[in-house]
Amino acid sequence: MTNADVAALFDRLADLLEYEGENAFRIRAYRAAARTIADQIEALDAIRADETRSLTDLEGVGRDLAAKIETILDSGRLPLLDELSARVPAEVFDLLRVPGLGPKKVRQLVDGLGITSLDALEEACRSGRVRGVKGFGEKTEAAILKSLAFVRGTTAQRQLWDDADQVVGDVLAWMRGCPAVERIEAAGSWRRGCETVGDIDLVAVATDAVAVMEHFRRWEHTTDVIASGGTKSSLRGPRGMQVDLRVVAPAAFGAAWQYFTGSKEHNIRVRSRAREHGWSLNEYGFQPVDSDSRAVPPPATTEPEIYRALGLAWIPPELREGRDELALAAEGKLPLLVEERDIRGDLHMHTTDTDGEDTLTDMVQGARQRGLEYIAITDHGQRVSMARGLDETRLLRQWERIDRLNESLAAEGPASIVVLKGIEVDMLERGGLDLPDDVLARADWVVASLHYGQSQPRERITERILEAIRHPAVRVIGHPTGRLLNRRPAYDVDMEAVIAAAAESGTFLEINAHPSRLDLDDHHAAAARRAGVRMVISTDAHSVRGFGVMRCGVLQARRAGLTSADVVNTLGWGEFRRLLGPRST
């Protein structure tokens, strides 16, 4: 059970109690607990396992709630919720999924109109019956119809790229074990490195398409065969993800791979450029627009051939979003995108001193094994109390350990790794940072992040971040918008002002590589680049395993058109040390 899972159960409990017209105070308590738990960075399991702490340390969690959390962690269920769920009519759960329809309103609709399904609700809105219920009007009817469309469009959740990538790796490995497969590649949003992936698109060349389709259906993770044909099949695999496979002729492989890589917007532009050259282009290749033409169409066996035929440089999939990539490719001005092997350091990570799973020495060894030249240890500052954030004393003690570690690492010679004394300070709700300036002045590397008070108004949040950007010790703003993909939207912040201030003060902005953050996103990172702001791609690793997400951050940077010059941690240690200036070790 993740914290989000537990929080969801409490929210659900509050919903059902509210539906039943229970005591408002009790409902508020469950909602507050759900919020605390969801905002909690550290896993509830970890807090519980730690003998020095208790779940009741959490704000708004008393003995009763702590016991309920333990029950959920142990069994995955909450008896009170099961009891209520059995009592409440099933359709209520569907109706509660409609944004803007709280439990009270659902109750009114059920009692007043006998609504028993989303379809019935839609019908009632369209026929104007909903406005007859007290507290509902014509406007609410329209709003409900809009929300219904939203609910129906988003029932199948898009998967994080990193999760989809595992499915892609698995299905490709399986399919490459089929003797009839000559070549198979993944296309679609996965190949473009999108933050989330709706479904997986595979393109194959085969000696025997029927055998390939049969092999595909026998994939061990298949839960459902959605469609099955001679050259196209779809099935449902892990995480409920749909996987589409198309088998194409060898001469059409490039055309098909290009077509199914998308994006749709990119393809529309490529096709219209093809028409200017006298060709139509689809997944089978080029054809003369003029059907009488005897002109031999250009080959489309590979992607570069296609782009070349249109007077374009090959465009990396990450840039195929129908923005300015065709113009750049025509002028030979595509950016040389940053690659994972360009990354020389990692400047945001945690250890067991706060909420990390691995010790300082383990993290350093893990980083070395990944070939990094330098890292910054950036545990949480004291505001993040539930992660046992560091106060001044504990931070200085950690830094002493880092000094000693650096001495012994230096003794191993120049091929070793340098460990920077860093900290991830919190931008406090009332402004300011959670550690004193004189301490921060002694750090090699300061990341400032905003973890609390995320629902403050735009001006307030922006002000807090601008203050941190202008702070002399702060080098980089961590995960600048705070969004968590599929879980929590960004806080309300004026990113234009943030980027302008960062440009002015030479503060860096982070591209947090965690698959559910990827924050800055591609649009913001591209805007930062245009403004001359340099970025840092960081893993925010909470364990040695956590270093593995760097590739996700690099993908996001590539989608933003970033080159290695735009990314500070592509500098070798020598240059990076000069950039840090005299303050550093």
Q: Which residues lie near ligand DGT (CB under 6 A)?
A: 188-189, 194, 197-199, 201, 259-260, 262-264, 267-268
CB of 242 to Ca ion, least distance (A): 7
The CB-of-94 to ligand DGT minimum distance in angstroms stands at 24
Q: How far is the CB of 465 from ligand DGT (least distance, A)?
A: 31
Number of DSSP helices (H) and strands (E) in the chain, helices first: 24, 16
Nearest approach, Cβ of 243 to ligand DGT (angstroms)?
10
Among Zn ion, ligand DGT, Ca ion, none, what does residue 540 contact (CB within 5–8 Å per kind)? Zn ion
Closest CB to ligand DGT belongs to which residue? 262
Give min distance, CB of 319 to ligand DGT, in A.
14
Nearer to Zn ion, 451 or 524 (CB): 451
CB of 350 to Zn ion, least distance (A): 6
What is the nearest approach in angstroms of Zn ion to the Cβ of residue 547?
13
Cβ-defined contacts of 484-490 (< 8 Å, 24+) = 484/516, 484/517, 485/160, 485/195, 485/196, 485/515, 485/516, 485/517, 485/518, 486/157, 486/158, 486/160, 486/196, 486/516, 487/4, 487/38, 487/516, 488/38, 490/519
Around Cβ 343, how many Cβ atoms within 10 Å? 25
Q: Residue 273 or 388: which CB sits closer to ligand DGT?
A: 273
Q: Which does 547 bind (CB under 5 to 8 A by kind): Ca ion, Zn ion, ligand DGT, none?
A: none
The beta strands (E) that lie in 169-297 are given as: 181-186, 196-197, 200-206, 224-228, 232-236, 242-248, 279-282, 285-288
Q: Which two tokens stand for residue 428?
A: 């406090």
Tell me which residue has tokens 């782009």: 307
- Print burial letters for 459-480: b (CB count within 10 Å at least 16), e (below 16): ebbbbbbbbbbebebbbbbbbb
Q: Per-residue x/- marks for Ca ion, 238-277, CB under 5 A? A: ------x---------------------------------
Binding partner at 576 among Zn ion, ligand DGT, Ca ion, none, C-beta below 5 to 8 Å by kind: none
- The rounded Cα 25 to chain-centroid distance in angstroms is 35
Q: Does 540 bind Zn ion (CB under 5 A)?
A: yes
Other CB atoms closer than 10 Å to residue 209's CB: what's the count?
A: 21
Rounded CA gap, 417 and 138, in Å? 66
321 binds Zn ion (CB under 5 A): no
Rounded CA gap, 253 and 165, in Å?
Answer: 22
Partners of 484 in beta bridges: 488
Residue 278 backbone zone (phi > 0: left; psi -120 to 50: alpha; other: beta): left
Quick note: the x/- pattern for Ca ion over 191-230, rule CB under 5 A, is --------x-x-----------------------------
Residue located via tokens 């909420």: 355
Nearer to Ca ion, 244 or 519 (CB): 244
CB of 304 to ligand DGT, least distance (A): 19
109 binds, among Zn ion, Ca ion, ligand DGT, none (CB under 5 to 8 A by kind): none
What single-letter amino acid sits at 313?
A
Counting contacts by CB under 5 A, is residue 325 touching Zn ion? no
Residues that bind Zn ion (CB under 5 A): 424, 540
Residues that bind Ca ion (CB under 5 A): 188-189, 199, 201, 244
